[in-house]
Chain A
Amino acid sequence: MTEPLLRVRDLKTYFVTEHGSGTARAVDGVSFDLYPGETLGLVGESGCGKTVTSLSVLRLIPEPPGHIRPGSFIEFAGRNLLTLPPRELRAIRGNQIAMIFQEPMTSLNPVFTVGDQIAEAAIVHQRLSRRAARARAIEMLKLVGIPDPAQRVDHYPHQMSGGMRQRVMIAMALVCHPKVLIADEPTTALDVTIQAQILELLERLQAELGMAVMLITHDLGVVAGSADRVVVMYAGQVVEQAPTPDLFARPLHPYTDGLLASVPRLDAPPARARGRLHAIPGQVPAASDWPGGCRFHPRCPYAWDRCRDEEPPLLDASTGEPGIHSVRCWLLTEPQRRTARPVP
């Protein structure tokens, strides 16, 4: 396989909580690779550490209260981003690694025109003149499919709809043709038809510009449609990672199972056709107080003694090439237990 573009190893991002009562281990030993040109889906419930992981990559974690633990390692183009001096880090942000934020409503500065904001990265990184930057902004607006780009460039964010603002955000992120795009829930705040348009747009731009995309989402439908590989996170850890078709065909972690079962389906089997959608019982525990053993065991339908006492490592579950499908679950060592209780 080719060399990964971005290599994250044992990333630990902790937050000191308000009253000094403890440390929230929001991201606790996450490792994954991002290869050139691929789309990697990062999936999990709210509070599982997806966003903190993505912010850590660009070192946008507010410090204090947050800090990335020594020993963590994020390698991009042969350099560890976590030890890079601020000036060199800024040269990478927006230029080689760009980010799209979740809320198109609040991620645009209300006092500047969208053209100014799209041009900003080009002015910062490529020292473009105002005139050239404006021309580039218009070009980018056209690229992301906004009609009348020459007029829209002078509009303010409040004059645009949510979908258009998300397109503007994408234009902002892509203006320097980054190698990596981190998209943090790019479609969550949009309605479904717009969601599909934005995802299609991202896919088209990815193909045109040849960048790698880290797609953070809680929506498995989005993952199924656009990701090549999936990393499932739970409680600050990676619990399963696999190529997308593999994950959907053969989910190994009970948490992945639960997530898949919680997606509403039109072709639901009769057993589940009672009108109730499956939900994983309980909630993600607080990050300052992860359960011992397997962190999922209080919510797991199969949990037994070993799950309470011993934390499982990431175990290789690949059927083909080694290492492409791994899962953090003891069930892998005792597969007969899975049949002991049916999938709810």
Chain B
Amino acid sequence: MTVWNWLAVGGAAVLALVLVAEIRRRAATGPTGRRFFRHPTAAPALFVLAFFVTVALAAPLVTPYRPYFQIDITRLANHAPSEQNPLGTDPFGRDVWSRLVYGARISLGIGALAMLVAVTTGVVVGGVAGYFRRWVDATLMRLVDVGLAMPRMFMLLMVVALWEHVPLAVLVLLIGLTGWFGTSRLVRAEVLSVREREFVAAARALGAEPARVIFRHVLPNAAAPIIVSAALGIGNVMLLEAGLSFLGMGVPSPAPSWGNMIADCWQKMAVAPWCATFPGLAISLVVMALNAVGDALRDALDPRKEVA
């Protein structure tokens, strides 16, 4: 780890701090923003997320090695954390810090993209079911019941097992398409209530077609639960990806993800605890941060929470 790397990490931390401070400054002007930051964990959680995202984006600057580079290829020894390898090296002689940073790109990326797939599907299905009701609703919701009754992990394992090497895009789609059931129920419930409001009748009286009414008038008014479920959803998806990767069914080695980093190391837990501990800590930290942000958003977007 060179001086420049340390400086870059420091720079990322400062950038994240500035970012959070700026968001906080802007948020203070509205009641929603104030409610968000009233949560004691909201600002630290935002900082954690901002830090990981900046570091992941600036990966080549903050890491001394490429993630695949085997420093000590002849002995394949685990080096303990040192000035050279701040988080030590793994059983293949690769720098854990470098892999952690590049792994953030993959883990956070999969989390965000898969969540996007899940939320989009869930919003469309829930919106259509809630707006049209009757047999459309009944059919879609029975489908959701089936989806919710299936153990997701086993379903994913089964599908993944049929592939030799799962491309990342397929993994994202799979995780996304098995994760929208809860969101669709939430959206449906919200749509059922919003569709009865008068401006929806007014929009229909204007001659707007169903798609326009759903996407322009109903769903924007149901945004709060969607945003919250998205924020909480990323954490869930990241845990799932970690689990899959740990079982060797997710992100294929040697590409680093936080899950397969733990998989590479868990057998050496007794002699080289740093190797599995740090990716594990990273997962916990980010998921905790996401949950905290989700909770704060939930309170912030619910105007009924307005207390004097």
**Minimum C-beta distance from B138 to chain A (A):** 13
* A60→B204 contact, CB < 8 A: yes
Residues of A within 8 A of B209 (CB): 90, 124
Interface centre among B201, B206, B208 (most CB of A within 10 A): B206
* A94→B217 contact, CB < 8 A: no
Residues of A within 8 A of B199 (CB): 106-110
Query: When A109-B221, A110-B221, A124-B212 are in contact, do A93 and B198 touch as well, CB less than 8 Å?
Result: no
* A111→B220 contact, CB < 8 A: yes
Residues of B within 8 A of A101 (CB): 198, 201-202, 205
Q: Which of A113-157 contact B (CB under 8 A)?
A: 120-121, 124-125
Q: Which of A209-236 contact B (CB under 8 A)?
A: none
A60 to B220 alpha-carbon distance, docked (Å):
22
Q: B40 on the interface (CB 8 Å rule)?
A: no
Residues of B within 8 A of A98 (CB): 205-206
**Minimum C-beta distance from A2 to chain B (A):** 26
Residues of B within 8 A of A91 (CB): 207
Instruction: Closest B residue to A175 by CB, please name it.
Output: B206
* A121→B198 contact, CB < 8 A: no
A102 to B201 alpha-carbon distance, docked (Å):
11
Q: Hey, which bits of chain A sit against chain B, CB under 8 A?
A: 55, 58, 60, 64, 90-95, 98-99, 101-103, 106-112, 120-121, 124-125, 169, 172
Residues of B within 8 A of A90 (CB): 207-209
Instruction: Closest A residue to B209 by CB, please name it.
Output: A90
A110 to B198 alpha-carbon distance, docked (Å):
11
**Minimum C-beta distance from A142 to chain B (A):** 20
Majority secondary structure of chain B interface residues (helix, strand, loop or mixed)? helix
- 5 cross-chain pairs, A with B, having the tightest CB-CB distances, nearest first: A94-B206, A94-B207, A93-B207, A99-B205, A107-B198
A103 to B212 alpha-carbon distance, docked (Å):
22
Total contacts A-B at CB 8 Å: 67
Q: How many residues of B contact A (CB 8 A)?
A: 19
Instruction: Closest A residue to B200 by CB, please name it.
Output: A109
Q: Hey, which bits of chain B sit against chain A, CB under 8 A?
A: 134, 197-199, 201-209, 212, 216-217, 220-221, 223
Query: When A90-B209, A109-B217, A111-B221 are in contact, do A120 and B203 touch as well, CB less than 8 Å?
Result: yes
Instruction: Closest B residue to A110 by CB, please name it.
Output: B221
**Minimum C-beta distance from B122 to chain A (A):** 20
Instruction: Closest B residue to A97 by CB, please name it.
Output: B205
* A60→B206 contact, CB < 8 A: no
A111 to B216 alpha-carbon distance, docked (Å):
9
A108 to B199 alpha-carbon distance, docked (Å):
5
Query: When A109-B217, A110-B221, A111-B220 are in contact, do A95 and B207 touch as well, CB less than 8 Å?
Result: yes
User: Residue B207 contacts which of A102, A110, A124, A169 (CB distance < 8 angstroms)?
Assistant: A124
A121 to B223 alpha-carbon distance, docked (Å):
24
Instruction: Closest A residue to B202 by CB, please name it.
Output: A107
* A94→B198 contact, CB < 8 A: no
* B206→A121 contact, CB < 8 A: yes
Interface centre among B201, B217, B220 (most CB of A within 10 A): B201
* A120→B221 contact, CB < 8 A: no
* A124→B208 contact, CB < 8 A: yes
Residues of B within 8 A of A169 (CB): 202
Interface centre among A55, A103, A107, A169 (most CB of B within 10 A): A107
Residues of A within 8 A of B197 (CB): 106
Residues of B within 8 A of A64 (CB): 134
Residues of B within 8 A of A111 (CB): 220-221, 223
A111 to B203 alpha-carbon distance, docked (Å):
13
